[in-house]
Amino acid sequence: MKRSVVLGTLALAGLAGAAQAATLDDVKARDALNCGVNPGLTGFAAPNAEGVWEGFDVDVCRAVAAAVLGDATKVNYVPLSGETRFTALAAGEVDLLARNSTWTFSRDTDLNLDFAGVNYYDGQGFLVPSALGVTSATELDGATVCIQTGTTTELNLADFFRVNNISYTPVPIANDAEGRQQYLAGACDTYTTDASGLASVRTTFENPEEHVILPEIISKEPLGPAVRHGDNDWADIARWTLNALIVAEELGVTSANVAEMAAAPTENPEINRLLGTEGEMGAMIGLDNQWAVRAIEATGNYGEIFERHLGESTPIGLARGLNAQWTNGGLLYAPPFR
């Protein structure tokens, strides 16, 4: 009896594993990509007035949907809270998690995720009123700091102050909204969270110019899309779609010129391989040869996505910084398409 139960469980688990192993087939059969996104993070994911999801992370979902299904709108957006995002992915509720999640050791190994790469290099920063007269985080000795409890930012903060041998008083807050209010009310001298978050918080202030983000970035927060561990084919598709967007910027392929470049082979063999006019790169990841063309057409290359949602032309106004191409002193470095 007991053995049959165990065997049954194993068989079920095996079936479940088999069902999950072919995410690509599931997505194609469903004709829609289930994509886990943040329920609302300025610049990264939020629905517009028509209820259409937009944002930096959302464009990863759209690019993958365009590559796999040929239509960037065939995405079911599943908004996930910070607590439930990884379980939702593990349970198969979403195929892809593009929800500003930091790539860490334990998440990659213990939580059985596979990170497809990094689409945003973030890091923890400090926001201070310019009236405070502080120009460096090391001058924050004795400051009161608004800090979200239970996050990695809290631990990073403790580390930073200990290393620099200075003291601080934490003001615990629950979320970004509360942090913003507390900071504006003067409950703390400085507010600390991811630098991209600080920038978007700052844009909502009445007088943004009265506040500065200090130059120190005290932690590494590589944010990237994640998939379930164990389906390497699907992970490849996510990884190389992201890489295609990055390499497209490096090669000067944009949403405006991609159709023209893909019409006939160009001088540059790597562009030809990326756009499918040379070689059979698409077949190697189980897609057709036009997959990258569709992804780039749908969202533009990485630089275009960045400019549209986070860049200097948006109210958030983030500089490329670490997220520039390696040729421009940034960290974006897509492996060669060969």
Partner 1 sequence: MSDLHSQTVAYSRDTMLPPVPPPRREAGAVRWLRENLFSGPLNIILTILAIWVLWLALRDVLPWAWRGIWNAGSISECRTIRDQLYGEGTSAACWAVIRARWQQLVFGFYPASELWRPPLALVVFLLAVLPILFADLPRRLLWLTAAAPFLIVWLLWGGPIWGPVAVALGFGLGWLAWRIVARAGGPLLGAVAAILVPVLYWIFVDAPLTAALARILPIGLTPVRSSDFGGFTLSIVIGLSGITLSLPLGILLALARRSEMFIISKVAVIYIEVIRGVPLIVWLLVAQVLLNYFLPSGTNFDILLRVIIMVTLFSSAYIAEVIRGGLAALPRGQYEAADALGLGYWQAMQLIVLPQALKISIPGIVNSFIGLFKDTTLVSIISLFDPMRMSSTIRATTEWGGIYWELYIFVAAVFFVFCFAMSRYSMWLEQRLERSHR
- Under rule CB under 8 A, residue 181 binds partner 1: yes
Q: Which of 8, 10, 40, 169 binds partner 1 (CB under 8 A)?
A: 40
Distant-in-sequence contacts of 85-88, Cβ < 8 A, 24+ apart: 85/36, 86/111, 86/113, 88/36
- Under rule CB under 8 A, residue 130 binds partner 1: no
Question: 181, 174, 182, 171: which is closest to 143 by C-alpha?
Answer: 171
In which region does residue 136 sit, left (phi positive, over 0), alpha (psi from -120 to 50) or beta (all else)? beta
- Under rule CB under 8 A, residue 315 binds partner 1: yes
Q: Which residues of 116-144 are buried (b: 16+ CB within 10 A; e: fewer)?
A: bbbbbbbbbbbbbbeeeebeebeebeebb
Among the candidate windows 3-11, 79-87, 106-114, 115-123, which touches partner 1 by CB under 8 A? Answer: 79-87
Query: Shortest distance, CB of residue 274 to partner 1, whole angstroms?
Result: 32
Q: Which ranges constitute the DSSP H helices of the chain?
A: 2-21, 23-30, 56-69, 85-90, 105-109, 152-163, 176-184, 195-203, 232-251, 258-263, 269-275, 281-284, 291-299, 302-309
Nearer to partner 1, 202 or 294 (CB): 202
- Under rule CB under 8 A, residue 235 binds partner 1: no
Question: How far is Cα 13 from Cα 169, in angstroms, rounded to an integer?
Answer: 49
Nearer to partner 1, 26 or 139 (CB): 26
In this structure, is the dihedral angle defined by the CA atoms of residues 98, 49, 52 and 93, taken in order, positive or negative?
positive
Residues pairing with 96 in the sheet = 35
Nearer to partner 1, 30 or 162 (CB): 30
Question: 83, 22, 53, 13: which is closest to 232 by C-alpha?
Answer: 22
- Under rule CB under 8 A, residue 111 binds partner 1: no
Element (H, E) at 75: strand 75-79
- Under rule CB under 8 A, residue 22 binds partner 1: no
- Under rule CB under 8 A, residue 101 binds partner 1: no
Among the candidate windows 46-54, 131-139, 213-221, 234-242, which touches partner 1 by CB under 8 A? Answer: 46-54
Helix (H, G, I), strand (E, B) or coil at 45: strand
- Under rule CB under 8 A, residue 76 binds partner 1: yes
Nearer to partner 1, 42 or 241 (CB): 42
Query: Shortest distance, CB of residue 43 to partner 1, whole angstroms?
Result: 7
State the number of binding residues for partner 1 (CB under 8 A): 44
Q: Which of 62, 180, 211, 239 binds partner 1 (CB under 8 A)?
A: 180
Nearer to partner 1, 45 or 238 (CB): 45
Question: How far is Cα 53 from Cα 46, in angstroms, rounded to an integer?
Answer: 6
Query: Shortest distance, CB of residue 314 to partner 1, whole angstroms?
Result: 6
Q: Which of 2, 4, 5, 51 binds partner 1 (CB under 8 A)?
A: 51
Residues near partner 1 (CB under 8 A): 12, 15-16, 19-20, 26, 38-43, 45-51, 76-81, 83-84, 87-88, 91-93, 177, 180-181, 200-201, 203-206, 314-316
